[in-house]
Structure 1
Amino acid sequence: MPESPPHVLIVGGGLGGLCAAHGLRAAGIGVTVFERDPSLDHRPQGYRIHLDSRGAGALRECLPDPLYELFTATSGQPSKRVTIVDERLRELHAVEFDGVSADGDPARFSASVDRMTLRQILMAGLDDVVRFGAEFTRYERDGDRVRARFADGTSAVGDLLVGADGIGSRVRRELLPHARVEDLGTRCVYGRTLLDDRVAALLPPRLAEGFMSVRSGRDGMALGLVRLKEDPEKAAARLWPGLHPRWTGDYVMWALAVPAARLPGTDAELSSAGGAHLHRLVTERVAGWHPDLVRLVEAAEVDQTFYVPIRTSVPVDPWEPSAVTVLGDAIHAMSPAQGSGANCALLDAALLCRTLSAAVATGGSLVEAVGAYERRMTEYGFAAVRASRKAASSSGGGPLGRIFQWLWRLSH
């Protein structure tokens, strides 16, 4: 252990990486976050996500009190119902639940969250910690420390390197070259339709009570309403003056799920096709659905439409701990089943901070602390991967039957 507090390098400025940065700094541990994108809002990365007690508990543990309060103030209302309908909006199945809350108690928390609003909250107070436009390329040992190298020729040395760089993690590829990511054969096209009086009139009444899944042959669509409890700009003025979250207003998130083989193009072609092309693809596929659903898609923000292949990590056996580790989708990416991805990433961040903090406080070994973190993280992380995989494979109807299972589980 160095005499001075250790310094941690985090590759990836997503939810897990930023949460970890807050927790480490609160523990007196130095930290720098390297994010390859040039800015926080450089590209669409998702809209509505669901956080439960795992994610809320991790944020409670890592964030300053005002930022945690800002997170809860800008969350959505808790869902009371999940509804499955056909393309004519006829109800097929529903699940109702209670006992959840979106207030400050993390143990009972269960609510939708706008991903970008949460990322802006997580960036608060980290301007001197996060370096944008830093594309990680590789790492190498530098004595007892580790050196991260970047595409612009720069490098940084730290006592620990954390790969929080998502499902395509370059850190994981070096650390665990045998770890695989498997294609599940389904693709989603995500979009967002801002709420106004005209759009509100199109919404199925049940959507106000919670998540909705639409079935139509081998295609399906997820619908999620995002109505925040408090306007982020006003909440930030009250709780964290100087933070000005960009917020365009409440919206409906929708995601069309289609078997990859039924799409006109490869992943590379569709990923680079642009929002207009993807939006047109969706409008063509839903043309025969209920008119309100058609109009809801037509009214979307066209340039905010994006494409995501559904993939999952393949669990690996334990590995020898070192001064390099991983968290979130970099190690245990999973299908959207059970809404565990973001929650597990935040849980990783809190566990890593807690474990490293204890090692620093007692003069223990950082590598031993990493080993303790990895044993626990892979236990629940790979369990969530297996559970998501089981949920995806247990429902009938082929790939789209499975995606329906994933979609309605997102809010539960």
Structure 2
Amino acid sequence: MNPAPLRARILPALWPLVPGAAVVAAVAGALLAPLATGAAVLGLAVLVVTARWPRGTALAAMIGGPLYLSGYAAGPVTLDNVAVLYGAAVGTGWLLAHRRVGTPLVAWPVALALAVTLAAAVNGGAGLPGTARFLSLAVLVLILANSTAAARSRTVAWVEVAVTVGALVLVAQPLTGYPEAFGTAEGVGQRFGGLFGHPNFAAYTICLVLLYQLYATRFTALRVGSTAVLLLALLLTGSRAALLVFLVLLLPAVWLRARRFLGLLLPAVVALPFVGTTVLTRLESISETGGLSGQNASGWRLGQWQDALEATRGHELLGIGWGQTVAVMGDELGAHSTYVQLWLEVGRIGTLVAAVGLAVLLRTACSSRTALVLLAYAVVSSTTDPVLLYPSCLTVLLVLLSQLLPRQDDAPGTEPAPDAVPDPVPQPRSGEARAAVPTATRRPLGAPA
């Protein structure tokens, strides 16, 4: 008997049985092994989504992981590491299957990965997590660089939504008790980080989005509500350095974006009575733990820097290895500075490599005032906290910069920048023929309107 006609008769008869078999298997699995069945269903769903939307899946994993999953353990690592590695693997596959162009935005994460790798070569391999983390950020930037302007704009919009949702969880944290709040070292009040994890992760990430909203976007009613939520969440984090640098960079907005400045400020003032007690407690904590005295205050940081710099003796060239600062500090806390931490962990050579990457990033940002504001915030605040090394902060910063500094070869029909405006149409003089109407030109993002 010819096998081809046999298959033609059997397969149509078996296909209607597939849904029933799937239902039976799901019910039996849920009763006999619910965890394994749930994991299998979730894994199958992720694979289907990945096959259908590989770029979107990669971006969601690499952005959502640092924002939402850093506080959940997955064996020896946290869930954000698992999500980021999966997203980087999918993103690398997507890049290999498409036309690839580079971008200067990749300079900072690649320089960090190289510096960590050099230090690891001398210190017995310590630093693989750092290398993987920064290379994954390079993959994220390359995916955005190889996407259309409209796709980058959508990604930034979803980042705004994701950070706002995280801020809502943070604002509700004093009422819900989830996640567990952070106590201050001085025992005054509490600090909140929500799904972001540590309050500093939340504070700096929120400030980056707030500055982007203020300087580079149109203020819609939804965005006004978002900024109000973000401002309240920022106060609840209790991060002095994040708030201080943010206020300094808000000063130009009083002149350049006066109406937006009021749109940013007034909703937060109106909402203060609803969370007044919690906010006042945090302001009391900030005031009582500031100055030069007290753990986690300015003077304490000076001591941390001194201890970290002293620990570099004997490891000047290539440092002590990535992530090893806690092991050499007397109080088992970090150096609380991007630059001191790099100097200690990757040494002078690694710091020089990182400095080259940062210089390339700063030079690239010169074409956009808003990009310079965001980088100024990250660079200045990195003096007292490792903002340029925090996964959530660096992820959001690079995504926003990818929108502010688009590719030069974007198609002319792509979506314009948020504050792009058309050039004025010249009016013909008396007796002259009317000239052709010029097309709208793209003004660099962040340029004055």
Task: Give the TM-score taking structure 1 as reference length.
Answer: 0.26
Relative contact order (alpha carbons < 8 A, sep ≥ 6): 1 or 2 greater?
1
Compare the two structures and name the one with the higher helix fraction: 2
Name the structure where strand makes up a greater proportion of residues: 1
* Higher Cα Rg, which structure: 2
